Structure 1
């Protein structure tokens, strides 16, 4: 009985293989999406036009050929620029001979689109600043104590001159960092722009994540700027207190000498309320929480 089962299984498998072999020997149709690659530019030239990234090709061939086409590595459809410059219209059917991967027993029935319009122009080189495309989430009480540092800050971009004219910023690939509570050093690739190449494709980002705290500074003297020689302005009071927020390591190194408080004489003269708002310059990467008092009264004295 077991012997009969084995014979039945072998017979079924043989029948399936035979049926598959016969079926795959017949002609079929398949539609594939092929990346377009334009080649044979004159030296120092490239395409300055946006072209479809892929074209749709309907192909006729035996099942075996179409199966290998479907299961193999993705094929590219090569289109020759012909060494020309300027505006050029290319019939894609004329490029069939440039695509050796199309076997002689395969027939291209339809291409969509069937024509490309390109502008062949000079290749340029330009240095462009890099910007981080970054989404950050911090643990409670933490944040960035300094600006995000990117190394290198910029890179040279090679591509069509017309594109480079309007290119002012390169972005990195999107990066999401969550639950941050300490300094981060991370590597990220630049976002690819079709038709462009970069001297540097990978950048390093430095994120100075610190505990964010508040600190008070009292008795800051307030100066009067642009004061005429024959005038004196007495501020009441002439000292203020401020509250500043920033990274714990940054605020820990600050003293009140790092701050500058002042009013402009012109603002005093033009005032109609009897008091002016003091201006305060604070160090980089800190933010002002409050100024006390918010307004200062004054007395103007004139000397003969």
Structure 2
């Protein structure tokens, strides 16, 4: 007997599983009632008049009592069942709508009946004028470069403005929108990132587009001498000249940036009074350099006013 049981344990296990499946089939084929939280979303509100928009928060879900077989009710839980509400009237303001089983949309193929709405029994809809306007984007971005690299120029935003769309009561207050904070460390190559826009507060307020491309030019640091930068003499009488009239400068910046840097991009100024009238000891030029370029040194260090 023991040998018989030991030799047929596989068949007995299969028979047990089959019996359980048959029992579950019979069990799930019986009629039941069940309550289910059905998602209720603003996009499921139909017939909103053109130029108006829902301006108040809505319940996340509506509890509905359903009737059907156990198998069908189980399928219902994983279906796209939802509640649809139709707006009547075209006036700005609040209006209460009573919910009923007829507002429940059951996907095709499911033999389930919505019996009643359990809660909430009604929903308040507050309509407001739809407003759209373009606003600038503000970025909260920190980029720290790796040793030997530098950030060249300002951080780029594409686009630098977005369309804000929603109820007038909220959109009219918006002046700028911000991006989600972005912090990057040890950066050694150009930055190109899509960063999400932080939507302004208020129901049904959206931004178009929802993402902005952030870019930054990262270059290896280099040093270079630029020769024959002309010094402009200020407050000088006619005919006065500076000797020497030019200066060589050593600058630091991004490798590609320095390759295209010319002497005309650097402005140097000297005050005639400081040189000719000796108002300062060993007066030096004042330099204006392109953004991202650092002045290290210059030569010569001594200047005089040439004879007329």
TM range (shorter): 0.5 to 0.7
Match of 2:34 among 28, 39, 59: 28
- In structure 2, what is the equivalent of residue 60 of structure 1? 65
Q: 1-side partners of 2:75 and 2:227: how far apart? A: 79
Q: CA deviation at 1:211?
A: 0.9
- Corresponding residue for 2:93? 87
Backbone CA RMSD of aligned residues: 4.7
User: Within 2, Cα distance between the matches of 1:14 and 1:138?
Assistant: 67
Distance 1:265 1:87 in 2: 72
1:17 is aligned to 2:25: yes
TM-superposed deviation, 1:171: 5.0
List aligned pairs for 1:1-304, cutoff 5 A. Answer: 1=5, 2=8, 3-22=11-30, 25-37=31-43, 38-47=45-54, 49-52=55-58, 54-62=59-67, 63-64=70-71, 66-73=73-80, 75-91=81-97, 93-94=98-99, 97-101=102-106, 104-111=113-120, 115-116=123-124, 118-121=126-129, 123-130=130-137, 136=143, 138-170=145-177, 180-183=187-190, 188=194, 191=197, 193=199, 194-196=204-206, 198=208, 204-215=213-224, 223=232, 225=234, 227=235, 244-262=251-269, 279-284=286-291, 286-288=292-294
CA distance in 1, matches of 2:178, 2:82: 27
CA-CA distance at 1:247 after TM superposition: 1.4
CA contact (8 A) 2:195 2:211 kept: yes
Alignment CA distance shift 1:181-1:191 (3 Å): same
Q: Is the 8 A contact 1:36 1:55 kept in 2?
A: no
Partners in 1 of 2:272 and 2:86 — Cα distance?
72
Q: How far did 1:258 drift?
A: 1.7
Indicate the residue corresponding to 1:302 in structure 2.
Answer: none
Tell me the SS of whatever aligns to 2:41: strand
Contact 1:51-1:116 within 8 A present in 2 as well: no
For residues 241-286 of structure 1, give each alpha carbon's deviation from its aligned partner in whole angstroms, at most 9, with x where no partner exists.
8664421110222244322234779999xxx9989896432113x1
The number of residue pairs the alignment matches comes to 282
Q: Over alpha carbons, which structure has the higher Rg?
A: 2
Instruction: Output the CA distance in 1 between the equivalents of 2:273 and 2:157.
Output: 42
Q: 1:125 to 1:58 in 2, by over 3 A?
A: closer
Q: TM-score, normalised by structure 2?
A: 0.65
Alpha-carbon contact 1:128-1:154 (below 8 Å) kept: yes
Q: Give deviations 1:17-69, integer Å, cap 9, x for gaps.
A: 333444xx33233445533333322222223x3424x5243332345554333
TM-score (normalised: structure 1) = 0.65
Deviation (angstroms), 1:6? 3.7
Question: Which SS does the other structure have where 1:167 is aligned?
Answer: coil
The question of whether the paired residues in 2 share the 8 Å contact of 1:36 and 1:79 is answered with: no
Instruction: State the 1:86 CA deviation.
Output: 2.0
Distance change in 2, residues 1:116/1:274 (3 Å): farther
Gaps of 5+ in 2: none
- Could you list the runs of 5+ residues in structure 1 that have no partner in the other structure? 300-304
Over residues 153-182 of structure 1, what are the superposed CA-to-partner deviations in whole Å (9 max), with x where a residue is unaligned? 445444434444333445567777776433
Contact 2:196 2:211 in 1 (8 A): yes
| Residue 81 (structure 1) shift | 3.5
